[in-house]
C-alpha cells in the first residue's frame, strides 16, 4: 500500500513511519497520489502552540492539501482537546467545546473535511509519552529533573489523564489507517491515571521521590481536571500493548542513554 505521511520527522510521525515500514507499506513524504494519506503535520511547540495564530495556517494548509492530493482514504489527526469538559469517559459522539485556538482549528478542519465527503478517519489523540518527546513536556521534564538530581515542581497532581505510549499511538494510527473505520476515533488507553500517580511512578523507578514538589504551582486555566477516553470504537480493531509502568521505565532508559551520548560517556 502506498502511504503519504506528513510530519514524518516529528515525535509521533517518526514512530508511525517505523510501523508502516515494518508492515511493508511504501511511505512517501511527497504530495503525490496514494492509497492512504496520514496527515500529522501541525505546529505544536510546547508553551506556544495552544493559542498561536499558526494554527489557522495549519488548518488552511491541511484543507488545501486534502483538496489537492488524490488519495482513496484520509487519516487526519485531531485532538482530545476538541471535546467539551466532562467528568465521564469521552466518546466520539460526546459534545465538542474547544477552549483553545489549537483545538478550535482542529475541529474546524474536521468539519470542513466532512463536508468534502472524502473517506475520512479522524484519530483524536489523548495524552501520550515515550522516547523522542520534546523535553519541555510533562513526562520528560520530570524524568530529566530527577535524573539530574533537581527538584521537579508540579501542580497538586490531582488532574486525571489518559496516557498511551507513543509506540502504541503509532500502531493505533496505522491500525485505523488500514481499517474501514471512519469519523472520529479516540486514540488512548481508556485507563484513568492522575498526574500525581505518573510522577510518583517515575520517581519510584529513578528512586528520587523526595525531589517531587507537588503543589508548587497552580494548573493552567486550560488544563481540564478530567480527560479520559472511551475506547470502545478503537478496541474493535486494536488494543494497547505497552503498560504504563513498562512504558515509563523504557522512556527513562531512553533519556538516560540520550544524556550519556550527549556527555560522551
DSSP string of 131-148, one letter each residue: TT--TTSHHHHHHHHHHT
Average pLDDT over residues 86-113: 98
216-260 per-position pLDDT tens digit: 999 988 889 999 999 999 999 999 999 999 999 999 999 999 988
In the three-class reduction of DSSP (H, G, I as helix; E, B as strand; rest coil), residue 195 is classed as: helix
Residues 96-100 have a mean pLDDT of 97
Confidence of residue 106 (pLDDT cuts 50, 70, 90): very high
**Which of 191, 211, 194, 199 lies closest to 140, judged by CA?**
199
List 194's β-bridge partners, or say none: 160
C-alpha cell at 71: 488519495
Mean predicted confidence (pLDDT) in 49-68: 97
Cell triple for 40: 500529522
Nearest alpha-carbon partner for 222 in 138, 166, 159: 159
**Dihedral sign of CA atoms 207, 211, 215, 219 in order:** negative
CA dihedral for 179, 181, 184, 186, sign (positive or negative):
negative
Over pLDDT 90: what percentage of the chain?
Answer: 93
Beta bridge partners of 109: none
Distance from C-alpha of 146 to C-alpha of 160, rounded to nearest angstrom:
22
- pLDDT, position 265: 59
Q: Which domains does the chain have, with CATH numbers?
A: 2-263 (3.40.50.720)
Per-residue confidence (pLDDT) for residue 264, from 0 to 100: 65
Nearest to 23, CA basis, from 35, 32, 33: 35
pLDDT digits (tens, 9 = 90+) for 131-186: 999 999 999 999 999 999 999 999 999 999 999 999 999 999 999 999 999 999 99
88 beta partners? none
**For the purposes of burial, counting CB atoms within 10 Å of the CB of 239, is it exposed (0-12), middle (13-18) or buried (19 or more)?**
middle
C-alpha cell at 109: 478542519
Amino acid at each position: 500500500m502506498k502511504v503519504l505521511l506528513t510530519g514524518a520527522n516529528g515525535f509521533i510521525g517518526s514512530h508511525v513511519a517505523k510501523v508502516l515500514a515494518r508492515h511493508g507499506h511504501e511511505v512517501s513524504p511527497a504530495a503525490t497520489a496514494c492509497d492512504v494519506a496520514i496527515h500529522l503535520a501541525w505546529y505544536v511547540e510546547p508553551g506556544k502552540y495552544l493559542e498561536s495564530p499558526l494554527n489557522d495556517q495549519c488548518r488552511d494548509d491541511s484543507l488545501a492539501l486534502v483538496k489537492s492530493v488524490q488519495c482513496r482514504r484520509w487519516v487526519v489527526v485531531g485532538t482530545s482537546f476538541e471535546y467539551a469538559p466532562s467528568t465521564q469517559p469521552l466518546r466520539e459522539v460526546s459534545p465538542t467545546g474547544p477552549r483553545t485556538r489549537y483545538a478550535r482549528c482542529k475541529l474546524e478542519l474536521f468539519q470542513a473535511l466532512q463536508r468534502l465527503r472524502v473517506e475520512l478517519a479522524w484519530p483524536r489523540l489523548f495524552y501520550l509519552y515515550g522516547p523522542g518527546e520534546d523535553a519541555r513536556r510533562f513526562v520528560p521534564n520530570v524524568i530529566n529533573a530527577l535524573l539530574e538530581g533537581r527538584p521537579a515542581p508540579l501542580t497538586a497532581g490531582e488532574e486525571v489523564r489518559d496516557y498511551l505510549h507513543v509506540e502504541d499511538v503509532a500502531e493505533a494510527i496505522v491500525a485505523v489507517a488500514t481499517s474501514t473505520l471512519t469519523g472520529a476515533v479516540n486514540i488512548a488507553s481508556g485507563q484513568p491515571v492522575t498526574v500525581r500517580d505518573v510522577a510518583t511512578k517515575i520517581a519510584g523507578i529513578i528512586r528520587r521521590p523526595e525531589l517531587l514538589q507537588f503543589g508548587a504551582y497552580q494548573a493552567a486555566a486550560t488544563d481540564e481536571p478530567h480527560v479520559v477516553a472511551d475506547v470502545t470504537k478503537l478496541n474493535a480493531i486494536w488494543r494497547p500493548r505497552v503498560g504504563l509502568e513498562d512504558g515509563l521505565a523504557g522512556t527513562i532508559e531512553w533519556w538516560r542513554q540520550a544524556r550519556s551520548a550527549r556527555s560522551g560517556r
